Amino acid sequence: MNADEELRALEGAGVAQCRVCGCNELRRWVHLPQMPFTEELRSADDPNPVFLADIDVYLCAGCGASVTTHEPPFGDYYVDYHYTTSSSGLASRFMDRLAETLFHRFKLPPGCRVLEVGSGDGAQLQAFQRRGAVVLGFEPSALLCRISRTRGIPVIEGLFEASSISLLPAAFGRADVVLMTYTFDHLPDPSGALAAAHMSLHPNSGLLVLEVHDLALIVRRREYCLFEHEHFTYWTANTLRKALARCGFKLLTTELLPEQERRGNSLLVVAAPMAAHYEPDQSALDAENPIELRYDGFQHELDKGIAALDRFVEREAAAGRKIAGYGGGGRGVMTMAAMRSAALLSYVCDSNRGLHGTIAPKSNVPIVGIEMLASHPVDTLLVFSYGYMDEIAAAVRAQPHAPARIISMLEVLGG
């Protein structure tokens, strides 16, 4: 198929409404066939079929956002959700710096009220609580809610949506901060969530903090593993700015923390109600300029990236070198699910003990603890959780019989 034929095929695929602005002029630009949920890890003898469905991402002609149009059958999926990064030193430092910087830059007072949507195990809210904030979480996972409460972090169990404002206690009717880190793109009704956040914030001094995956980086890195059934929207600084403005927010900054202090592929922004006294900084003004992305040619680049990963793994195996992966979370699951060579990986290590003894959906690669590197050594380690590369490399090299080569998947995707 040549470029013109590909473009016509993509244009013909756009039929539904944008979940951000309601426009019905959508054009498909990403297609990943038969992909699983990122967290549907299971035991090897589980007889139930794995959920598999195509992932299609569409570009909206109206607002410029990239969205999915399907509604996966989540059921109780999030009730049993157990993903957390709080055991990572890098993630813990990020959480602490995020709280410290917000307090310092925006002069948050002791006793300020901080509401986190998608609060996980409560680790981020603890960082605010240590600085004197009154905190409350909103989290759909029953398991993570229990962990949060044992830490002394109060939490409301459920998904956050437009009607959620009625569940908040009176003290949080005018919160000082509403925080959504790697949560906003999981919400099927982003405009409804922003409207609820707007209603729950103090109109003159409230702050909305959003961390999403940066679509510009996804495209540049061919990082196809971040296209997931769990992600309904994909954002650049410009499209996020416009969505915020439609819901009564002004963008204040895209540079709350420097890049080296953020997590992998992090677009971290702070916004405020239009009437708030804060003024946007230069990074917010720069966000008014849209980033030119190669939407029409990206499918070809995506396929090239998957092929590069397959060639790398197959070359290692052909040379007689044993290879394993590191990172049993979403990046690892989705990367392996699209590869034809995933079965050549001996296993995937992960520091999250809750994942040990399971297999990744579709690829069926076992997920194990890092100690497996000592008892069943490999020659090459392919790191999917590249955002924690330094931390992972240090832990791996401390193991007996450490792999001779530790390589980030980003190095391979760019090949």
Residues 268-313 have pLDDT tens digits of: 999 999 999 999 999 999 999 988 898 999 999 999 999 999 999 9
CATH code where residue 355 lies: 3.40.50.720
pLDDT of residue 414: 80
Residues 32-58 have pLDDT tens digits of: 999 999 989 999 999 999 999 999 999
Q: Is the pLDDT of residue 216 over 80?
A: yes
239, 264, 286 - which closes a domain: 286
Q: Is the pLDDT of residue 2 over 60?
A: no
Query: Is residue 104, in this structure, part of any structural domain at all?
Result: yes
228, 258, 286 - which closes a domain: 286
Nearest to 316 by CA among 401, 399, 387, 406: 406
Note the pTM of the prediction, 2 decimals.
0.90
Query: Is residue 238, in this structure, part of any structural domain at all?
Result: yes
d(CA 217, CA 286): 17
Residues 179-205 have pLDDT tens digits of: 999 999 999 999 999 999 999 999 999
pLDDT level of residue 89 (50, 70, 90 thresholds): confident
Give yes or no for a contact between 41 and 361, defined as CB atoms under 8 angstroms apart: yes
Assess whether 325 and 193 both reside in one domain.
no
236, 268, 286 - which closes a domain: 286
Assess whether 357 and 395 both reside in one domain.
yes
d(CA 413, CA 222): 7
Query: Is residue 10, in this structure, part of any structural domain at all?
Result: no
Q: Range of 180's domain? A: 80-286
Query: What are the beta bridge partners of residue 359?
Result: 42, 366
d(CA 300, CA 6): 10
pLDDT level of residue 8 (50, 70, 90 thresholds): very low
Q: What is the DSSP string of 179-199?
A: EEES-GGG-S-HHHHHHHHHH
Query: In the chain, what percentage of residues exceed pLDDT 70?
Result: 93
- State the total domains in the chain: 2
